[in-house]
Amino acid sequence: MINMTSGKNDTLAVLFDLDGTLSDSLDFIRHNYLEVFTEMGLPWGNDDVMRWIGRGLKDIARHFAGNGEEKFIELYQQCFNRDHDKYTRLYPGTLEMLEGIRARRLKTGLVTSKGRPGTIRTVELTGLDRYLDVIITAHDVEKHKPLPDPVLKALEVLNVQPANALFVGDSHFDMESGRSAGTGIIGVPWGMAPVEELLKYDPLGILENWDELEKYI
Which residue would you say has higher pLDDT here, 6 or 217?
217
**Residue 166's beta-bridge partner residues?**
14, 184
CATH number of 2-25+90-216: 3.40.50.1000
pLDDT band of residue 3 (cuts 50, 70, 90) is: low
pLDDT > 70 fraction of the chain, expressed in percent and rounded? 96
Asked whether the CA dihedral 160, 157, 153, 188 is positive or negative, the reply is positive
Closest residue by Cα to residue 148 from 15, 6, 11:
15
Q: What is the pLDDT of residues 149-169, one digit of tens each?
A: 999 999 999 999 999 999 999
Q: Is the link from the previous residue into 150 a cis peptide, with omega within 30 of 0?
A: no
**Of 17, 140, 149, 174, which one is the catalytic site residue?**
17
* 174 is a catalytic site residue: no
CA–CA separation, 14 and 6 (whole Å) = 16
Task: Provide the H-helix boundaries in 104-217.
Answer: 116-126, 149-158, 172-181, 195-199
**Cα separation, 39 vs 83, whole angstroms:** 17
Q: What pLDDT sits at residue 10? A: 83
The set of long-range contacts for 93-100, using a CB threshold of 8 Å and a minimum separation of 24, is: 93/209, 93/210, 93/211, 94/22, 94/128, 94/210, 95/126, 95/127, 95/128, 95/131, 96/210, 97/210, 97/211, 97/213, 98/128, 98/131, 98/132, 99/131, 100/214
Per-residue pLDDT band at 7 (split at 50, 70, 90): very low
Q: How far apart are CA 188 and CA 47, in angstroms?
A: 21
Q: Give tens-digit pLDDT for 55-78.
A: 889 999 999 999 999 999 999 999
State pLDDT tens for residues 118-151: 999 999 999 999 999 999 999 999 999 999 999 9
Structure confidence at residue 85 (pLDDT)? 95
End-to-end CA distance of the chain: 15
Bridge partners (DSSP) of residue 134 are: 109
Rounded Cα distance between 35 and 75, Å, is 8
pLDDT bin (cut points 50, 70, 90) of residue 2 is low
Q: What is the pTM of this model?
A: 0.91
Across the range 90-105, mean pLDDT stands at 96
Judge contact between 136 and 112, C-beta under 8 A: yes
Long-range contacts of 135-140 (CB under 8 A, 24+ apart): 135/109, 135/110, 136/109, 136/110, 136/111, 136/112, 137/112, 137/113, 138/56, 138/57, 138/58, 138/112, 138/113, 138/114, 139/115, 140/116
Q: Over 70: is that where the pLDDT of 1 sits? A: no
pLDDT at 215 over 90: yes
The residue ranges of every structural domain in the chain are: 2-25+90-216, 26-87
pLDDT in tens, 9-32: 589 999 999 999 999 999 999 999
